[in-house]
Structure 1
Amino acid sequence: MDTRWAKSSHATYNCAYHFIWCPKYRRKVLINGVDIRLKELLIEKATEHGWAIEKMEIMPDHVHIFIKTTPNDSPVFIISQLKGYTSFVLRNEFQWLKSRLPTLWTRSYYVESIGHISEDIIKKYIEDQKTR
């Protein structure tokens, strides 16, 4: 998805989300190689599903991702795939994570849809349809 729009057989779209999530208890465990491996795993899972990670930052106690997706994939599906896969692999590869945390990630997350056009412009466009 190199351009602003992507196409399928029946749709032209620009679906992008900003996700943020944290380790359980907001522990600073995304360090000492866990952060590097986490990036690799997130890219791997995104590629598997046809998603494009536009920007990613791994902090010691939280993750930021800006990801472009297809209209077929809901935010809850995307985050469950990313968190579930990375938790499973990281806890197997870094055994010390199991002793520090009962689960790697909290159940909660933040998501915001990102678009090229602001909410105000969309509202105005819809409102202006009455006068056409």
Structure 2
Amino acid sequence: MWCPKYRRQVLFQGVDVRLKEIKIEVANEFNSEIVEMEVMPDHLQLLIDVDPQFGIAKVIRYMKGRSSRYVRQEFPWLKSLLPKLWTNSYFVSTVGGAPISVIKKYIENQKLRIKNV
């Protein structure tokens, strides 16, 4: 399986399930809704409807911070593999005129695409 230079495949063995729970928890706190989410072994993709009052940067910052802290506490074996769970970077794009169903389908199919590479 192809993996970029600095990505580590550690989002499995329950880490993926816990990440989803944490992301949903943070989204709810910020009046945001996760429309679609897929966790791959080395990254995750979100389609999220964010309340403009809070802004996407703030929501993502809290999601990354809380998930890193909680997951590394709950899965200590991660500490020996990674100095930190996330990098400071992330990619955000607006959906614009694209139908939500198309974006959701794209995210849903990511695991299938990666398995076939």
Same fold (TM over 0.5): yes
Of 50, 60, 73, the match for 1:92: 73
1:33 corresponds to 2:14: yes
Deviation at 1:116, TM superposition (A): 3.5
Give a deviation string over 1:2-56, Cα, whole Å, max 9, x none. Answer: xxxxxxxxxxxxxxxxxxxxxx921000011100111111111111111100000
Aligned mates of 1:75, 1:46 — CA distance in 2: 10
The two structures, once aligned, show a CA RMSD in angstroms of: 1.8
> Rg larger in 1 or in 2?
1
Aligned mates of 1:47, 1:115 — CA distance in 2: 23
Deviation at 1:117, TM superposition (A): 6.8
Aligned mates of 2:21, 2:87 — CA distance in 1: 21
Question: Given the two structures, how large is their TM-score scaled by the length of structure 1?
Answer: 0.67
- Size of the aligned set, in residue pairs, is 95
Q: Residues 24 and 34 of structure 2 are in contact (CA less than 8 Å); yes or no, is this contact kept in structure 1? A: yes
Aligned mates of 2:94, 2:68 — CA distance in 1: 24
Of 38, 45, 59, the match for 1:78: 59
Percent of pairs identical after alignment? 48
Partner of 2:40: 59
Gaps of 5+ in 1: 1-23, 119-132
Aligned mates of 1:105, 1:88 — CA distance in 2: 10
Q: Residues 25 and 106 of structure 1 are in contact (CA less than 8 Å); yes or no, is this contact kept in structure 2? A: no
Question: Given the two structures, how large is their TM-score scaled by the length of structure 2?
Answer: 0.75
Deviation at 1:73, TM superposition (A): 1.9
Aligned mates of 1:55, 1:87 — CA distance in 2: 20
Counterparts of 1:1-132 in structure 2, within 5 Å, are 25-116=6-97
Higher relative contact order (CA 8 A, sep 6+): 1
Which has the larger strand fraction?
1
